[in-house]
Structure 1
């Protein structure tokens, strides 16, 4: 049986992150800035407007798609790439991949960077919102698709599939990975990157009523109300789902990501500052729709709840962090389907 395993230098970040002293934290306050296959309606460009933010019209995706959110996605891409050693992927076949699919491409920044770095590869980015730039490398293109619907790409079409930030956005993870497996060439790889939605303190467990606990509880309830699964990365859930879909040689990594500039290590300090900037700028967009439209809270009540969570992540004394899971796996060379054709 293929058990999830870890890589060497990029394995679990179990040792505690060294924090700055309170004086250092106070002195350092500067933020680091550093054609559709699912036949979606043309009205996909008609956005819903909720309390000043815009969202896709015809899907149940709850994340905003306006400029404020897109700026956060760019920051998110920056710090993840920085944390992983300026690598766009950890899967072993990425440099040799010729047909690449980026699922949930967002602004398209990962797909564009991959296409720039590997000009011989053909890269397709797919998302439910047409928010990608019109300019991109000649070997990169974007499609407006809903990957929760039936995929219409040919079997064994891609040799590398990348997914990121889909936690709480997918109803049927098994179907998603089964379709990825079907469209994957033998010996091709899939790489999945997801955050655990519940934040924690490095100093120890927080009380049940703490904003970290309350935020994840309410968000998970709201996601469940729209039929989405928000705990997929817990208890090796990503690796288990990939294995059930037929993938092998599963490698699972878990990284502790500080929130804010409290870490003493220069790299973690920059990563943490960027992670805070992404989270701080995204809270209102994520929370507003789920709280007011799904949970049916009053807008004022939602803003108070969001503000309480924001205050908690700003508290450097908590040394707050979350887990980033990066899992990759290979489609075997021989499967029951391909073997029967020999």
Structure 2
């Protein structure tokens, strides 16, 4: 039984809060510091087709793919069991769709930043989740053939006619016969074991002149007024998650490294834009206030999704310790006196036309 004290991570499993974060990340420019709204009244508030030819040979839905694993009250994927440490149940699907809404707000309704032109013909969405990005893209570009892939068959049955889904593992060898004009991947931090191989395969399967775009959050939590120093448990949680995911073999603090790796893979005109994603409705700017309102809800759900497997199976924490710690982290996330934000990296690059 756990005692009434907060979990005290051992040196081999979880870090001391006074130590520096494992992840070194590029911070957004400080000259655009987020302004706090001092008057804010803070409330605590598918269709599946035969695989095009990936080495995972995932052709159709069968009983083994749908034979989910259940751990600690959450449901996890069965295909390539253990490859991903986040659940795929309805609670997680709600969080995924909330993430999509937050990114839509950040991008003023756009789905991407890369200059892909008006007539992309073949589009690949990796780690499609519920498929919401792929379906929105298919609606916006009716002449495009949009393919979304994921380890979990959680996409809807009814989709736009130009959108389809496959159960697939993008870490296996890609054997697509026809190249893509655009490859999109959102929040694949914690999903990729070999970044270099991932970008090399994406490069090989893009048509000349085609684009790749990555969208991902980086650690640690930041603030523009020093209040991040008060978020001791939240920072410890993210630091420990970074260490645990690295031990798992798929680090979540990888986005700041991707620009150089895109260039190394052969992409040209590589661009990176870092935007601030606030947690809470404390920003004075109306748009950021709305983003922060939804992000505080999403982050609380993310803590519930990302923590259990990494902290227990990888780092050896007990479920009692995990529950106590998560409660402390979520209390700091919703504290109106702590003005946290996360840096979000938008990166895109082009395969040379010749």
Aligning the two structures, in what range does the TM-score lie when normalised by the shorter sequence?
0.7 to 0.9
When the two chains are superposed, the root-mean-square deviation of aligned CA atoms in Å is 1.9
Residues 194-235 of structure 1, C-alpha deviations (whole Å, 9 max, x = no match)? 00132123222745981232112211121122211222122x
Match of 2:41 among 25, 35, 39: 25
1:261 maps to 2:281: yes
Q: Is the 8 A contact 1:196 1:322 kept in 2?
A: yes
- Aligned residue number for residue 75 of structure 2: 54
**1:93 aligned to which of 110, 113, 116:** 116
CA apart distance, 1:94? 4.8
Alignment partner for residue 176 of structure 1, among 198, 219, 226?
198
1:102 aligns with 2:125: yes
Q: Is the 8 A contact 1:247 1:331 kept in 2?
A: yes
Q: Is the 8 A contact 1:255 1:325 kept in 2?
A: yes
Over residues 21-53 of structure 1, what are the superposed CA-to-partner deviations in whole Å (9 max), with x where a residue is unaligned? 1x4233xx386xxx3432259422221111111
Quick one: structure 1 residues 316 and 205, their matched pair in 2 at CA, closer, same or farther if it must change by over 3 Å?
closer
Q: Which residue of 2 aligns with 1:139?
A: 162
Decide which moves more: 199-208 or 165-174. Answer: 199-208
Q: State the 1:93 CA deviation.
A: 1.0
Counterpart among 227, 231, 251 of residue 229 in structure 1 = 251
Match of 2:271 in 1: 251
| Offset at residue 99 of structure 1 (A) | 0.3
1:110-136 CA deviation, whole Å, 9 max, x = no partner? 000000111000000011100100010
CA distance in 2, matches of 1:141, 1:12: 39
Larger helix share, 1 or 2: 1
State whether structure 2 residue 101 is matched by structure 1 residue 78.
yes
Q: Which residue of 1 aligns with 2:6?
A: none
Shift of 1:269: 0.6
Once the two structures are superposed, residues 230-260 of structure 1 have per-residue CA deviations (whole angstroms, 9 ceiling, x without a partner) of: 22122xx111110011000011100011101
Partner residue, 1:3: none
- Distance in 1 (CA, whole Å) between partners of 2:192 and 2:174 is 15
Q: 1:153: which partner in 2?
A: 176
| Stretches (4+) displaced over 3 A | 11-14, 205-209
Aligned to 1:64: 87
Q: How far did residue 172 of structure 1 move?
A: 0.2
Counterpart in 2 of 1:198? Answer: 220
**1:165-197 Cα deviation digits (max 9, x unpaired):** 111211101111100000000000001000013
2:339 is equivalent to residue 316 of structure 1: no
| In the alignment, structure 1 residue 45 sits paired with structure 2 residue 62 | no
1:213 aligns with 2:235: yes
Secondary structure at 2:135 match in 1:
helix
The CA deviation at 1:92 is 0.6
1:14 Cα deviation from its structure 2 partner: 4.4
**TM-superposed deviation, 1:295:** 1.5
